[in-house]
Chains A and B, each alone.
Chain A
Amino acid sequence: MRGRLTGFLVSAALACDPAAAHHSFAMFDQDHPIEIEGVVHEFRFTAPHTFIILDVSQADGKTTAWALEGGAPTALVRDGWLPDSLRPGDEVKVRIAPLRSGAPGGWWTVHQIHFRDGTAILSRP
Protein backbone atom coordinates (compact mmCIF):
# COMPACT_ATOMS: atom_id res chain seq x y z
CA MET A 1 0.00 0.00 0.00
CA ARG A 2 1.24 3.41 -0.84
CA GLY A 3 1.21 6.41 1.40
CA ARG A 4 -0.35 9.73 0.57
CA LEU A 5 0.57 13.31 1.16
CA THR A 6 -2.13 14.89 3.24
CA GLY A 7 -0.47 18.26 3.01
CA PHE A 8 -2.62 20.17 5.44
CA LEU A 9 -1.12 22.77 7.64
CA VAL A 10 -1.22 22.32 11.37
CA SER A 11 -1.16 25.20 13.76
CA ALA A 12 1.15 23.99 16.48
CA ALA A 13 4.84 24.28 15.87
CA LEU A 14 6.97 21.21 16.46
CA ALA A 15 8.14 21.05 20.01
CA CYS A 16 11.86 21.54 19.72
CA ASP A 17 15.13 22.92 20.93
CA PRO A 18 16.87 23.71 17.66
CA ALA A 19 19.95 25.04 19.43
CA ALA A 20 20.43 21.68 21.09
CA ALA A 21 21.71 20.05 17.97
CA HIS A 22 25.12 20.06 16.34
CA HIS A 23 23.67 21.98 13.41
CA SER A 24 20.98 24.58 12.89
CA PHE A 25 17.50 23.38 11.97
CA ALA A 26 16.71 26.67 10.25
CA MET A 27 16.46 24.98 6.88
CA PHE A 28 13.29 23.34 8.21
CA ASP A 29 10.20 25.55 8.35
CA GLN A 30 9.08 25.02 11.94
CA ASP A 31 6.35 27.65 11.62
CA HIS A 32 4.51 25.70 8.94
CA PRO A 33 4.59 22.00 9.80
CA ILE A 34 2.74 19.52 7.61
CA GLU A 35 1.53 16.01 8.16
CA ILE A 36 2.49 13.30 5.71
CA GLU A 37 1.68 9.62 5.43
CA GLY A 38 3.79 7.03 3.76
CA VAL A 39 5.56 3.71 3.79
CA VAL A 40 8.92 3.36 5.51
CA HIS A 41 11.54 2.52 2.93
CA GLU A 42 14.43 2.64 5.40
CA PHE A 43 15.05 3.71 9.02
CA ARG A 44 18.64 4.87 9.36
CA PHE A 45 19.70 4.68 13.04
CA THR A 46 22.84 6.67 12.33
CA ALA A 47 24.96 9.54 13.60
CA PRO A 48 24.74 12.44 13.78
CA HIS A 49 20.96 12.13 13.38
CA THR A 50 18.53 9.39 12.49
CA PHE A 51 16.69 9.43 9.17
CA ILE A 52 13.46 7.94 7.90
CA ILE A 53 13.33 7.44 4.16
CA LEU A 54 9.58 7.57 3.59
CA ASP A 55 7.84 6.69 0.31
CA VAL A 56 4.97 9.12 -0.12
CA SER A 57 2.38 8.92 -2.90
CA GLN A 58 1.65 12.12 -4.76
CA ALA A 59 -1.64 13.27 -6.21
CA ASP A 60 -0.45 12.22 -9.67
CA GLY A 61 0.11 8.65 -8.49
CA LYS A 62 3.88 8.86 -8.46
CA THR A 63 5.86 8.09 -5.33
CA THR A 64 8.46 10.42 -3.89
CA ALA A 65 11.02 9.39 -1.29
CA TRP A 66 11.24 11.94 1.52
CA ALA A 67 14.39 12.27 3.67
CA LEU A 68 13.18 12.95 7.21
CA GLU A 69 15.82 13.89 9.78
CA GLY A 70 15.18 12.95 13.40
CA GLY A 71 16.98 13.08 16.72
CA ALA A 72 20.37 11.61 17.49
CA PRO A 73 20.41 7.86 18.20
CA THR A 74 21.42 8.56 21.81
CA ALA A 75 18.37 10.76 22.30
CA LEU A 76 16.05 8.23 20.68
CA VAL A 77 17.39 5.43 22.86
CA ARG A 78 16.53 7.46 25.94
CA ASP A 79 12.98 7.65 24.58
CA GLY A 80 12.89 3.87 24.21
CA TRP A 81 13.59 3.67 20.47
CA LEU A 82 15.82 1.03 18.88
CA PRO A 83 17.19 0.53 15.36
CA ASP A 84 14.21 -1.69 14.49
CA SER A 85 11.51 0.49 16.00
CA LEU A 86 10.60 1.31 12.41
CA ARG A 87 10.85 -1.36 9.72
CA PRO A 88 10.59 -1.29 5.95
CA GLY A 89 6.95 -1.52 4.96
CA ASP A 90 5.61 0.18 8.08
CA GLU A 91 2.84 2.62 7.25
CA VAL A 92 3.21 5.77 9.32
CA LYS A 93 1.78 9.23 9.73
CA VAL A 94 4.22 11.91 10.86
CA ARG A 95 4.13 15.65 11.42
CA ILE A 96 7.24 17.29 10.05
CA ALA A 97 8.83 20.68 9.61
CA PRO A 98 9.43 20.62 5.84
CA LEU A 99 12.46 21.99 4.06
CA ARG A 100 12.01 25.68 3.29
CA SER A 101 13.04 24.99 -0.29
CA GLY A 102 10.02 22.78 -0.93
CA ALA A 103 12.26 19.78 -1.68
CA PRO A 104 11.13 16.45 -0.22
CA GLY A 105 12.82 16.61 3.15
CA GLY A 106 11.94 17.54 6.68
CA TRP A 107 12.48 17.11 10.36
CA TRP A 108 10.46 14.88 12.72
CA THR A 109 10.37 14.15 16.44
CA VAL A 110 9.47 10.93 18.25
CA HIS A 111 6.45 12.61 19.79
CA GLN A 112 4.81 13.30 16.45
CA ILE A 113 4.93 10.01 14.60
CA HIS A 114 2.41 7.12 14.73
CA PHE A 115 1.46 4.13 12.69
CA ARG A 116 -1.16 5.04 10.10
CA ASP A 117 -3.92 3.50 12.23
CA GLY A 118 -3.00 5.82 15.10
CA THR A 119 -1.19 3.34 17.34
CA ALA A 120 2.05 4.33 18.99
CA ILE A 121 5.28 3.23 17.36
CA LEU A 122 6.62 1.75 20.60
CA SER A 123 3.43 -0.24 21.23
CA ARG A 124 4.61 -2.92 18.83
CA PRO A 125 5.89 -6.01 20.70
Chain B
Amino acid sequence: MMWRSSIGSIAVAAALAVGDAQAFDESKYPDWTGQWVRVGSGSFDPGKPAGLKQGAPLTPEYQAVLEASVADIAAGGQGNNPMGRCLPPGMPRTMINYEGMEIVVLPNISYILLLEPMDQIRRVYTDGRSWPQRIIPSFLGYSIGQWVDADGDGRYDTLEIETRALKNPRSYDSSGMPFHSDGQTIVKERIRLDQANQNLLHNEITVIDHALTRPWTVTRDYRRERNAIWIETICAEDNRQVRIGKEDYFISADDRLMPSRKDQPPPDLGYFNQAQKEGRQ
Protein backbone atom coordinates (compact mmCIF):
# COMPACT_ATOMS: atom_id res chain seq x y z
CA MET B 1 0.00 0.00 0.00
CA MET B 2 1.31 3.38 -0.99
CA TRP B 3 -1.40 5.52 0.44
CA ARG B 4 -3.74 5.86 3.37
CA SER B 5 -7.13 6.35 1.84
CA SER B 6 -10.05 4.01 1.38
CA ILE B 7 -10.78 5.82 -1.86
CA GLY B 8 -7.15 5.78 -2.80
CA SER B 9 -7.21 3.87 -6.06
CA ILE B 10 -7.60 6.95 -8.20
CA ALA B 11 -5.44 9.09 -5.99
CA VAL B 12 -2.62 6.60 -5.93
CA ALA B 13 -2.69 6.25 -9.68
CA ALA B 14 -2.13 9.95 -9.90
CA ALA B 15 0.57 9.75 -7.28
CA LEU B 16 2.39 6.97 -9.09
CA ALA B 17 2.50 9.15 -12.14
CA VAL B 18 4.55 11.62 -10.18
CA GLY B 19 8.03 10.15 -10.02
CA ASP B 20 8.95 10.36 -6.35
CA ALA B 21 5.61 9.01 -5.14
CA GLN B 22 7.10 5.53 -5.26
CA ALA B 23 9.44 6.60 -2.48
CA PHE B 24 6.52 7.24 -0.16
CA ASP B 25 7.14 5.28 3.03
CA GLU B 26 3.72 5.00 4.60
CA SER B 27 5.15 3.73 7.85
CA LYS B 28 6.38 7.25 8.53
CA TYR B 29 2.86 8.68 8.43
CA PRO B 30 -0.09 8.33 10.82
CA ASP B 31 -3.15 6.27 9.90
CA TRP B 32 -5.91 8.82 9.34
CA THR B 33 -8.07 6.61 7.13
CA GLY B 34 -11.82 6.44 7.48
CA GLN B 35 -14.56 9.02 7.86
CA TRP B 36 -14.05 11.76 10.43
CA VAL B 37 -17.23 13.01 12.03
CA ARG B 38 -17.67 16.24 13.95
CA VAL B 39 -17.56 16.08 17.74
CA GLY B 40 -19.25 18.85 19.70
CA SER B 41 -21.41 21.75 18.64
CA GLY B 42 -21.43 23.56 15.33
CA SER B 43 -20.23 26.77 16.92
CA PHE B 44 -16.67 27.69 15.97
CA ASP B 45 -15.47 27.11 19.55
CA PRO B 46 -17.28 23.90 20.51
CA GLY B 47 -16.46 24.48 24.16
CA LYS B 48 -18.61 27.60 24.48
CA PRO B 49 -22.25 28.54 23.80
CA ALA B 50 -23.13 30.06 20.46
CA GLY B 51 -23.04 33.66 19.33
CA LEU B 52 -21.91 36.41 21.69
CA LYS B 53 -20.96 33.82 24.32
CA GLN B 54 -18.25 32.46 22.03
CA GLY B 55 -16.13 35.34 23.30
CA ALA B 56 -14.54 36.06 19.95
CA PRO B 57 -11.84 38.71 20.55
CA LEU B 58 -13.28 41.07 17.95
CA THR B 59 -12.43 44.73 17.54
CA PRO B 60 -15.31 47.07 18.46
CA GLU B 61 -16.14 47.61 14.79
CA TYR B 62 -16.53 43.90 14.10
CA GLN B 63 -18.14 43.19 17.46
CA ALA B 64 -20.90 45.52 16.24
CA VAL B 65 -21.23 43.38 13.09
CA LEU B 66 -21.64 40.29 15.24
CA GLU B 67 -24.19 41.96 17.51
CA ALA B 68 -26.24 43.06 14.50
CA SER B 69 -26.07 39.52 13.11
CA VAL B 70 -27.22 37.98 16.38
CA ALA B 71 -30.10 40.48 16.57
CA ASP B 72 -31.19 39.66 13.03
CA ILE B 73 -31.07 35.93 13.76
CA ALA B 74 -33.13 36.44 16.91
CA ALA B 75 -35.78 38.06 14.69
CA GLY B 76 -35.79 35.08 12.33
CA GLY B 77 -33.20 36.15 9.77
CA GLN B 78 -29.87 34.59 8.78
CA GLY B 79 -27.68 37.47 9.92
CA ASN B 80 -24.10 37.57 8.65
CA ASN B 81 -24.13 33.96 7.50
CA PRO B 82 -23.19 33.59 3.81
CA MET B 83 -23.34 29.81 4.09
CA GLY B 84 -27.06 30.10 4.77
CA ARG B 85 -27.50 30.81 1.07
CA CYS B 86 -25.21 27.95 0.09
CA LEU B 87 -21.96 29.80 -0.31
CA PRO B 88 -19.04 27.61 0.86
CA PRO B 89 -18.12 27.93 4.54
CA GLY B 90 -14.51 28.64 3.62
CA MET B 91 -11.62 28.46 6.03
CA PRO B 92 -11.64 27.97 8.94
CA ARG B 93 -15.39 27.30 9.20
CA THR B 94 -15.19 24.32 6.88
CA MET B 95 -13.16 22.54 9.57
CA ILE B 96 -16.21 22.57 11.83
CA ASN B 97 -16.81 19.59 9.55
CA TYR B 98 -20.59 19.59 9.57
CA GLU B 99 -21.23 16.31 7.77
CA GLY B 100 -18.00 14.33 7.65
CA MET B 101 -14.62 14.38 5.93
CA GLU B 102 -11.89 12.09 4.68
CA ILE B 103 -8.15 12.77 4.69
CA VAL B 104 -5.94 11.33 1.96
CA VAL B 105 -2.25 11.44 2.83
CA LEU B 106 0.24 11.39 -0.03
CA PRO B 107 3.92 12.29 0.07
CA ASN B 108 3.73 15.73 -1.48
CA ILE B 109 0.15 16.66 -0.80
CA SER B 110 -2.71 15.76 1.49
CA TYR B 111 -6.33 16.06 0.45
CA ILE B 112 -9.08 16.89 2.90
CA LEU B 113 -12.36 15.81 1.30
CA LEU B 114 -15.27 17.69 2.84
CA LEU B 115 -18.93 16.79 2.36
CA GLU B 116 -20.69 19.94 3.53
CA PRO B 117 -21.86 21.92 1.71
CA MET B 118 -20.74 20.87 -1.76
CA ASP B 119 -18.15 18.09 -1.71
CA GLN B 120 -15.18 20.47 -1.65
CA ILE B 121 -11.54 19.43 -1.56
CA ARG B 122 -8.77 21.11 0.43
CA ARG B 123 -5.30 20.64 -1.00
CA VAL B 124 -2.50 20.85 1.55
CA TYR B 125 0.89 20.98 -0.14
CA THR B 126 3.62 19.19 1.83
CA ASP B 127 6.33 19.27 -0.82
CA GLY B 128 8.33 22.03 0.82
CA ARG B 129 7.19 24.74 -1.53
CA SER B 130 7.29 28.45 -0.73
CA TRP B 131 4.31 30.77 -0.96
CA PRO B 132 3.64 31.68 -4.59
CA GLN B 133 4.12 35.29 -5.62
CA ARG B 134 0.46 35.61 -6.46
CA ILE B 135 -2.45 33.48 -5.35
CA ILE B 136 -6.00 33.89 -6.59
CA PRO B 137 -8.14 34.03 -3.43
CA SER B 138 -10.60 31.25 -2.76
CA PHE B 139 -12.98 30.24 0.02
CA LEU B 140 -10.72 27.37 1.08
CA GLY B 141 -7.55 29.37 0.50
CA TYR B 142 -4.07 28.12 -0.32
CA SER B 143 -2.61 25.69 2.21
CA ILE B 144 0.99 24.69 2.83
CA GLY B 145 1.64 21.93 5.34
CA GLN B 146 4.53 20.36 7.14
CA TRP B 147 4.69 16.95 8.78
CA VAL B 148 6.18 16.96 12.28
CA ASP B 149 7.43 14.17 14.52
CA ALA B 150 6.35 15.90 17.71
CA ASP B 151 6.97 12.98 20.07
CA GLY B 152 10.34 12.06 18.54
CA ASP B 153 9.54 8.40 17.85
CA GLY B 154 10.72 8.54 14.25
CA ARG B 155 7.20 8.76 12.74
CA TYR B 156 5.25 11.80 11.75
CA ASP B 157 2.29 12.42 14.05
CA THR B 158 1.26 16.03 13.43
CA LEU B 159 0.36 17.94 10.30
CA GLU B 160 0.91 21.68 10.66
CA ILE B 161 -0.94 23.75 8.06
CA GLU B 162 -0.96 27.42 7.24
CA THR B 163 -3.70 28.77 4.99
CA ARG B 164 -3.73 32.14 3.24
CA ALA B 165 -5.41 33.87 0.27
CA LEU B 166 -8.94 33.56 1.57
CA LYS B 167 -11.94 34.99 -0.17
CA ASN B 168 -14.91 36.77 1.39
CA PRO B 169 -17.70 36.60 2.38
CA ARG B 170 -17.14 34.14 5.20
CA SER B 171 -18.19 33.83 8.82
CA TYR B 172 -16.88 31.65 11.65
CA ASP B 173 -20.23 29.87 12.07
CA SER B 174 -23.96 30.40 11.62
CA SER B 175 -24.08 33.11 14.31
CA GLY B 176 -22.30 35.44 11.90
CA MET B 177 -18.99 36.15 13.66
CA PRO B 178 -17.20 38.16 10.98
CA PHE B 179 -13.76 38.29 9.40
CA HIS B 180 -12.13 41.53 8.34
CA SER B 181 -13.19 42.70 4.92
CA ASP B 182 -9.55 42.97 3.80
CA GLY B 183 -9.35 39.20 3.18
CA GLN B 184 -6.00 38.94 4.98
CA THR B 185 -7.03 36.10 7.29
CA ILE B 186 -4.33 33.56 8.11
CA VAL B 187 -5.33 30.21 9.58
CA LYS B 188 -2.86 27.90 11.30
CA GLU B 189 -3.76 24.31 12.18
CA ARG B 190 -2.12 21.48 14.09
CA ILE B 191 -3.83 18.17 13.33
CA ARG B 192 -2.91 15.05 15.28
CA LEU B 193 -4.42 11.88 16.68
CA ASP B 194 -5.25 11.67 20.35
CA GLN B 195 -2.42 9.81 22.09
CA ALA B 196 -4.78 7.53 24.01
CA ASN B 197 -7.53 7.16 21.42
CA GLN B 198 -6.55 6.44 17.83
CA ASN B 199 -10.13 7.10 16.71
CA LEU B 200 -10.10 10.70 17.84
CA LEU B 201 -8.46 13.46 15.83
CA HIS B 202 -7.66 16.89 17.28
CA ASN B 203 -7.35 20.06 15.25
CA GLU B 204 -5.95 23.11 17.03
CA ILE B 205 -7.03 26.07 14.91
CA THR B 206 -5.54 29.55 15.30
CA VAL B 207 -7.00 32.47 13.38
CA ILE B 208 -5.04 35.66 12.72
CA ASP B 209 -7.29 38.36 11.32
CA HIS B 210 -7.44 42.15 11.44
CA ALA B 211 -10.96 41.99 12.89
CA LEU B 212 -9.44 40.32 15.98
CA THR B 213 -7.57 42.03 18.81
CA ARG B 214 -5.35 38.94 19.17
CA PRO B 215 -5.00 35.52 17.55
CA TRP B 216 -7.94 33.26 18.41
CA THR B 217 -7.29 29.58 19.07
CA VAL B 218 -9.88 26.85 19.41
CA THR B 219 -9.65 23.06 19.30
CA ARG B 220 -12.06 20.93 17.34
CA ASP B 221 -12.26 17.13 17.56
CA TYR B 222 -13.36 14.55 15.01
CA ARG B 223 -14.45 10.96 15.68
CA ARG B 224 -13.40 8.15 13.31
CA GLU B 225 -16.20 6.22 11.63
CA ARG B 226 -14.59 3.25 9.93
CA ASN B 227 -17.82 1.91 8.42
CA ALA B 228 -18.64 5.14 6.69
CA ILE B 229 -21.57 5.87 4.45
CA TRP B 230 -20.81 8.70 2.06
CA ILE B 231 -23.69 10.82 0.88
CA GLU B 232 -23.24 13.28 -1.97
CA THR B 233 -23.89 16.76 -0.62
CA ILE B 234 -24.70 19.55 -3.04
CA CYS B 235 -26.15 22.51 -1.17
CA ALA B 236 -27.91 24.05 -4.13
CA GLU B 237 -29.97 20.90 -4.68
CA ASP B 238 -32.89 21.98 -2.52
CA ASN B 239 -32.00 24.98 -0.38
CA ARG B 240 -35.34 26.48 0.59
CA GLN B 241 -33.93 29.32 2.64
CA VAL B 242 -33.26 32.23 0.33
CA ARG B 243 -32.07 35.79 0.77
CA ILE B 244 -33.43 38.60 -1.40
CA GLY B 245 -31.96 41.98 -0.64
CA LYS B 246 -31.59 42.03 3.12
CA GLU B 247 -34.49 39.70 3.82
CA ASP B 248 -34.48 35.93 4.32
CA TYR B 249 -37.48 34.01 3.03
CA PHE B 250 -38.58 30.38 3.00
CA ILE B 251 -39.77 28.50 -0.07
CA SER B 252 -43.14 26.83 0.42
CA ALA B 253 -44.25 23.32 -0.43
CA ASP B 254 -45.67 24.67 -3.71
CA ASP B 255 -42.46 26.58 -4.53
CA ARG B 256 -43.60 30.08 -3.62
CA LEU B 257 -41.95 32.54 -1.29
CA MET B 258 -43.19 32.54 2.30
CA PRO B 259 -42.26 34.99 5.05
CA SER B 260 -39.85 33.66 7.64
CA ARG B 261 -40.87 36.10 10.37
CA LYS B 262 -43.97 37.99 11.37
CA ASP B 263 -44.92 41.08 9.39
CA GLN B 264 -42.02 40.57 6.97
CA PRO B 265 -42.29 42.76 3.87
CA PRO B 266 -42.38 40.98 0.50
CA PRO B 267 -39.42 41.42 -1.87
CA ASP B 268 -39.30 44.41 -4.20
CA LEU B 269 -41.10 43.31 -7.38
CA GLY B 270 -40.42 46.58 -9.17
CA TYR B 271 -39.01 44.89 -12.25
CA PHE B 272 -42.18 42.80 -12.67
CA ASN B 273 -45.32 43.90 -14.46
CA GLN B 274 -47.70 44.12 -11.54
CA ALA B 275 -50.70 44.75 -13.75
CA GLN B 276 -50.00 41.47 -15.50
CA LYS B 277 -49.75 39.71 -12.14
CA GLU B 278 -53.12 41.15 -11.14
CA GLY B 279 -54.69 39.92 -14.38
CA ARG B 280 -55.27 43.30 -16.02
CA GLN B 281 -53.23 42.47 -19.12
A complexed with B: yes
| A residues whose Cβ falls under 8 Å from a Cβ of B | 17-24, 26-27, 41, 44, 46-49, 51, 53-54, 65-67, 69, 72-75, 77-78, 99-105
A54 to B240 Cα, complex, angstroms:
15
Determine the interface band of chain B, counting residues with CB < 8 A from chain A.
35 or more
A61–B234 alpha-carbon span in the complex (Å):
38
Nearest CB on B from A80, distance (A):
11
Which residues from B are CB-within-8-Å of A26?
A: 73-78
Closest-CB distance, B6 to chain A (whole angstroms): 17
Chain A residues, CB < 8 A from B254: 65
Answer whether A47 and B84 are a contact pair too, CB < 8 Å, given A19-B41, A69-B240, A103-B258. no
B219-251 to A contact mask, C-beta < 8 Å, 1/0: 000000000010111110111110000001011
User: A23-B78, A66-B253 given as contacts; is B233 within 8 A of A48 (CB)?
Assistant: yes
A24 near B252 with CB under 8 A, answer no
A47 and B261 contact, Cβ closer than 8 Å, known pairs A22-B89, A23-B241, A99-B250: no
Contacting B98 at CB < 8 Å: which of A22, A99, A100, A105? A22
Task: Among A19, A21, A105, point to the contact of B250 (Cβ < 8 A).
Answer: A105
Q: How far is the CA of A73 from the CA of B240 in the complex (A)?
A: 15
A-B pairs, 4 with minimum CB distance: A20-B42, A23-B84, A65-B253, A46-B238
> Which residues of B, 45-65, contact A by the 8 Å Cβ criterion?
50-51
Q: List 10 A-B contacts (CB under 8 A).
A: A19-B41, A22-B84, A23-B83, A24-B81, A65-B254, A67-B240, A77-B229, A101-B259, A103-B258, A104-B258
Output the least CB separation between A3 and chain B (Å).
Answer: 13
B264, CB-defined interface residue at 8 Å: yes
In chain B, positions 252-278 with a C-beta closer than 8 Å to chain A are 252-254, 258-262, 264
Identify the B interface with A (CB < 8 A).
Answer: 37-38, 41-43, 50-51, 73-79, 81, 83-86, 89, 98-100, 115-117, 173-175, 229, 231-235, 237-241, 248, 250-254, 258-262, 264
Residue with the greatest number of chain B CB neighbours at <10 A, chosen from A22, A66, A67, A73: A22
Q: How far is the CB of A106 from chain B (nearest CB, A)?
A: 10
Q: Hey, which chain A residues are within 8 Å of B237, CB to CB?
A: 46-48
Instruction: Tell me the nearest residue of chain A to B87, going by C-beta.
Output: A22
Whole-angstrom distance from the CB of A103 to the nearest CB of chain B? 4
Q: Does A22 lie within 8 Å of B235, measured CB to CB?
A: yes
Chain B residues near A44 (CB-CB < 8 A): 238
